[in-house]
Every structure is written in C-alpha cells, then in structure tokens.
C-alpha cells in the first residue's frame, strides 16, 4: 500500500475532491483526519472509510479561523500519533471582477485559500519535522495558471498557491518535505454546479447548455472526475513522487494545452 503507516490531514474533505482524496489515501493505508465545517457530511466520510476497513477521524474546522487550523493539525497527532501529509484543499468560488470586488470578498477568498495554506503549513511543520519529513499538497486550479473569466479573487488566490508551492519546496527540502500543487480543470463537484449555474444565468442559457459549451474547450471533451484528481493527489503525496517537489500539476483533460 502506498501510504501504509502515514497520517494525513485533508482540509475540505467533507465533499468533492477532498472527500475522494481522503478515501483514496485511507484505501492505501493512511490514517486520515477529515475536516470541514459540515459535521454531518464529515461524519459520513469517516463512517465510509471505517466500513472499508480504514482509519479516519473528523475535526470540525473553519479554515478562516487560524485557531481552528492549529487545532486541526494537532488533532492528527492526538488521534494517530504523528503527521506526515498536510493537504490544504478547502476552497470556495464566487464570481467577481474589478468592478464588483469588495474588501470583504477579497479578504474571504485570500483567507480560505492562501492564508489557511500559509498558517496550516506553519502549524504542521514542527510535527512533520518530528516525523522525519513528509508531503504538503495544495489544491490550486487551472485558474491560478491562466486567468479565469469567472473570478478575479479566485484566480489571484490560486496563483498565490503556485508561488507558495515553489517557495516552500525550496525552503523545506532540507527537512525532507516535498511541496506540490494540484491544478484541477473542470471537475464535476458541488462547486462546479455552482459555477455552471452562475455562468449560465449570466448568459441566459441553461446550466446544461453552458456545460456542453464548456466541454468543447477541453481536448478530452469531458469534465475531470473527482477520482482522477484524487489519484493525482495520491501519487504526489506518495513515495512514487519522491523526487517531485515545487510542481503545479494540471489535472485538466488538456484544457491548458490549448
Ligand atoms: N470543482 C472544480 O471544477 C475545481 C476546479 C479547480 C479547483 N478546484 C478546487 O478544488 C478544491 C475542492 O473543491 P470541490 O470542487 O471539491 O468543491 P466542494 O465539493 O464544494 O468542496 C469544497 C470543500 O471545501 C470545504 N470548505 C469550504 N469553505 C471552508 C471553510 N471556510 N472552512 C473549512 N472548509 C471549507 C467544504 O467543507 P464544508 O462545507 O464542510 O465546510 C468542502 O469540503 C477547492 O480548493 C477548489 O477551489 C475545484
């Protein structure tokens, strides 16, 4: 098993990509700390992992609260005795541009994606050093590598994660800690439905029609699945990627290649 004996914290694992990733990590032997604000969905993920013979523990945490992030990371050691993998995956979307941006929308987007990543790593670092090294992963987006027509603040925050990945990969190499960033394209999750509805409404078409048009921009002609992103995450945090650090990996069906 790829992650036998490892302990992972996954933010935003109550649904979507994080949920699929946490289940994949547990199947490969990791003990996983599931996290998000929704206790019911978090509990369901833990139950599912346990039914499959894996180990999981839920911690309710809002990544906008730095105290919650610190508590979350420490819970890994309390529950499972160590910390090897920290994946900051929690995210939100919301349409904005230079006309509609507000100080509140800006602060929220930066807090959930970037500030939580920075201070999550700061909290996790001493524990990962104690474990002799490990892997850090961020969920970025193709919107952090190519400007998004949908959201100015989302693109800004996700591009910040790419630079954070590079900076930390260099700084933490001496600690045997690898740092990488997944950059998904269109993945069929709750977040994607939200985006399709917003885009469709703006154009006066149905979400189905919008998604049909959107898929034409993807060389593989379809959205990415949660499982495909989870598989990429599993690879990046496992020893199969032992010489890969500082990378922003698109998982996008070829979207960025066009
Ligand atoms: N879907 C896509 O097409 C796509 C494309 C590129 C990148 N991404 C990125 O992939 C990541 C996962 O998104 P998804 O598509 O899987 O969407 P999702 O199903 O909506 O999942 C979002 C997750 O983030 C958590 N979250 C949101 N705000 C939070 C907060 N303040 N504190 C703690 N947890 C919070 C949610 O948990 P609770 O509701 O329990 O708090 C949920 O578990 C995000 O970073 C997103 O930007 C998605």
Given this model, what pLDDT does residue 150 score? 85
34 C-alpha vs ligand 1 centroid, how far in Å?
13
Q: What pLDDT band is residue 149 in, cutting at 50, 70 and 90?
A: confident
Q: Looking at the predicted structure, is the pLDDT value of residue 135 above 90?
A: yes
Q: CATH 3.40.50.720 residue ranges in the chain?
A: 7-185+225-241
Given this model, what pLDDT does residue 81 score? 98
Kindly state the average pLDDT of the residues 23-51. Answer: 98
Pocket flag, ligand 1, residue 62 (CB < 6 Å): yes
Q: Which of 191, 199, 222, 226 for a ligand 1 pocket mutation test, highest count of atoms within 8 Å of Cβ?
A: 191
Ligand 1 atom 37: the closest Cα is on which residue? Answer: 36
pTM across the whole model: 0.98
Q: What pLDDT band is residue 61 in, cutting at 50, 70 and 90?
A: very high
CB 118 within 8 A of CB 73: no
Which tens digit of pLDDT belongs to each residue from 226-242?
Answer: 999 999 999 999 999 99
174 C-alpha vs ligand 1 centroid, how far in Å?
31
Kindly state the average pLDDT of the residues 168-182. Answer: 98
Q: What's the token pair of residue 142?
A: 């193709």
Given this model, what pLDDT does residue 251 score? 98
Q: Hey, which residues are catalytic here?
A: 154
Superfamily of domain 7-185+225-241: NAD(P)-binding Rossmann-like Domain (3.40.50.720)
Given this model, what pLDDT does residue 86 score? 98
What count of other Cβ atoms lies within 10 Å of the Cβ of residue 147?
12
Helix (H, G, I), strand (E, B), or coil: what is residue 218?
coil
Which candidate, 223, 253, 185, 225, places its Cα nearest to that of 24? 225
């Amino acid at each position: 098993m790829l992650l036998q004996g490892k302990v992972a914290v996954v933010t935003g694992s109550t649904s979507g990509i994080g949920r699929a990733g946490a289940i994949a990590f547990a199947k490969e032997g990791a003990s996983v700390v599931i996290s998000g604000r929704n206790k019911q969905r978090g509990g369901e993920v833990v139950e599912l992992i346990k039914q499959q013979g894996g180990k999981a523990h839920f911690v309710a945490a809002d990544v906008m609260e730095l105290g919650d992030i610190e508590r979350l990371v420490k819970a890994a050691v309390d529950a499972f005795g160590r910390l090897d993998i920290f994946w900051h995956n929690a995210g939100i979307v919301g349409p904005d541009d230079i006309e509609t941006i507000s100080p509140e929308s800006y602060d929220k987007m930066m807090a959930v994606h970037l500030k939580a990543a920075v201070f999550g790593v700061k909290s996790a670092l001493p524990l990962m050093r104690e474990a002799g090294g490990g892997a850090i992963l961020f969920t970025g987006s193709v919107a952090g590598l190519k400007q998004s027509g949908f959201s100015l603040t989302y693109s800004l925050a996700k591009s910040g994660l790419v630079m954070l990945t590079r900076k930390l990969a260099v700084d933490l190499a001496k600690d045997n800690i690898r740092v990488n960033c997944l950059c998904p394209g269109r993945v069929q999750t709750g977040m994607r439905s939200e985006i399709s509805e917003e885009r469709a409404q703006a154009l006066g078409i149905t979400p189905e029609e919008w998604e049909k048009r959107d898929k034409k921009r993807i060389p593989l002609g379809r959205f990415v699945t949660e499982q495909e992103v989870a598989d990429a995450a599993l690879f990046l945090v496992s020893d199969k990627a032992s010489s890969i650090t500082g990378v922003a990996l698109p998982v996008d069906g070829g979207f960025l290649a066009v």
